[in-house]
Every structure is written in C-alpha cells, then in structure tokens.
Amino acid sequence: MYCNSTTVALISQLSYQPSSLDQAVDRLFSSLDDLGNLRSARVLLKPNLITARNGLLACTDARRFIAAAARWFLSQGARVSVGDSPSFGTAKTVLAAIGALADLQVLGVPVVEFNRNRTVVLPGGKQAAIAVAALDCDLLVNLPRVKAHSQMRVTLAVKNYFGCLSGLHKPWWHMVHGGIDGQFAALLVDLLAVLPSSLTLVDGIMAMHRTGPVHGEPFPLGLMAACTNPVAEDTALLSLLAIDPSHCPLWEAASQAGIRGSMLEELVFPLAAPAEFQVHGFVVPEALGSIRFNPFRFVKNSIKRLLLQRGSRCS
C-alpha cells in the first residue's frame, strides 16, 4: 500500500437511506485522485465484522453501507467480494446474524473467509500471517466504522486493517506484542506497507462512543469519509472529533514512522474540511486498558472461536 496521498474527502451524511448512500459514495470516490480502470479488477471489501454481539452497531453497517460500496464497484465493472476475520464466528455467520447476507447474495457478491494465510515479513523484520484474499486482490477497500475503543481510545481507518490477519493470529498478536513494552501499534502500522493498493470508505453515519469495540453506545455522527491513505484519514477524523492525536497509540506509531498524512496541515480537503463539522459530545475512554491478552484468555477465546467456526461449517 502506498500512503502517499494527502487528499481526504469528507461529507455530511445523516442517514443510511440507499439512494442517498449511493450518491454519497459516488461523490466521495469521484473527488479522490484517479482510481484507475476498475473493469474486471478483483475488489475485496473489508468491513469490520468483529462479532454478531451488538453487531448492528459494533460492525460496519452491512445491509446498507457495505451494499452501497458493493453497488458502486459493481457499476465500475469490478469483481467484488466481501471478507473479514471476525473475533468470533465467521464472516458469513456474522453477516447473516446482522441481516446482510441475503442482500449481498442478491447483488452476486460472494463472502470470502480468511482461512488461508501467507506469511510475510514486515518492514521491521517481524512476520505476519495475512489472509491470502487480502494480499491477492487488486484493490483492498477498507470499510471501518468510527468507534471508541477501550485499548486504542478510538479506531478509524488504520485499525480496521488488523482484520487482514487470519484467524487466531489476531489474538496471538495481542498476547505476544501487547505488553507494556510491546510493539502492537507499531506492528499494526507496519501492516500497511505489505498490503495491496487500498481505498478507505469510513462509516461515520452512526458511530460508537464511550467505550468499544463491542459494547459502546450509538452516537449520530452523520458523516462519511474516503481516502487512499488511511493515516491521512485518521488524522482528519481525529481533528474533526477534537481528539488529541498524541493520545492515540496508532496515530503516534504512524507519526513516529514518518508516514505521510500524519500532520493535519499537509492534508487537502476537496469537499469539506474537519472544522466545518460541529461535533459535540463524542466521548472516548480516558484511561486505556491493556492490549495484551493473558494466556488464559487467549486459550479460552481460541477454543470459543474454533467451536463457533466448527458450528458454522456443520450448519
């Protein structure tokens, strides 16, 4: 992924009404740098499908937001699929639980499970087992939801790429790299360097605040954002939300790595600037919890994940 662009498209979007969403997606994508010829391109939509629990808020809005993105790429002649690596269950079971699977089937968009992985070496020398589907697509379309987060304060564009790690490799990273002196945030930023060309479309219509990533409360933020550089997108949204970026581990890691887009003054806004949005009352955790999973939690959650996956195959 090339994090070179400093263009961030922001628009007000108050509802998930399909025709309005379709117009918003087209306006956002049309305002970005040339996306190239997408005809026959293999486009993988990567939403946040963390879990079916509180899934209508914890996940990217699937019935309408993901479907709108799929419709736009299909209209460009792309071959579209949807994939993710949920914390519990499978992409297909989570999509079914939140009522989105049938809509994707009507569009002819298949669901890809991140079961096969390929080990790649990150810039810092660490290895990562990344889903083959995420590595081999022509365009990886990142579809995060704006959410407060108990470990990262807030999660936006960069954090959603963590789901490109397959299966149990996600909780393993938490356990191995999440200690006080761990490199979790820096390694997650390193993932950007080995992923293919990408485009992020942020679901900020109904956000999650106070805590997260699963059990927060709804917050009508009323916006959407698009960018080809997730670091720039995070910088813009942190400004819009009036959150000090230095208090956010992922932004800090991106800034320390010298990734372009981590400074607000270098960003270009073709549609609306962050200062034009009046956001009041969006609450994020003051104190952050430990990123590290203890071994007991790792084993417990791993067994639960495997049982859910087995149950989905049997059904």
Residue 6's identity, in one-letter code, is T
Asked whether the whole model's pTM tops 0.85, one would answer yes
Is residue 150 classed as helix, strand or coil in its secondary structure?
coil
Contacts of 314 (CB under 8 A, 6+ apart): none
Strands (DSSP E) contained in the chain are 9-12, 42-47, 79-84, 111-113, 117-121, 127-131, 139-143, 145-149, 153-155, 198-209, 217-219, 223-227
Domains and CATH numbers, the chain: 9-314 (3.40.50.11440)
> Taking a C-beta distance cutoff of 8 angstroms, is the pair 161, 143 a contact?
no
pLDDT (tens place) for every residue of the chain, 315 residues total = 988 999 999 999 999 999 999 999 999 999 997 788 999 999 999 999 999 988 999 999 978 999 999 999 999 999 999 999 998 889 999 999 998 899 999 999 999 999 999 999 999 999 999 999 999 999 999 999 999 999 999 999 999 999 999 877 777 776 776 655 668 899 999 999 999 999 999 999 999 999 999 999 999 999 999 999 999 999 999 999 999 999 999 999 999 999 999 999 999 999 999 999 989 999 999 999 887 655 555 555 555 555 555 555 544
How far is the C-alpha of 26 from the C-alpha of 143, rounded, in Å?
15
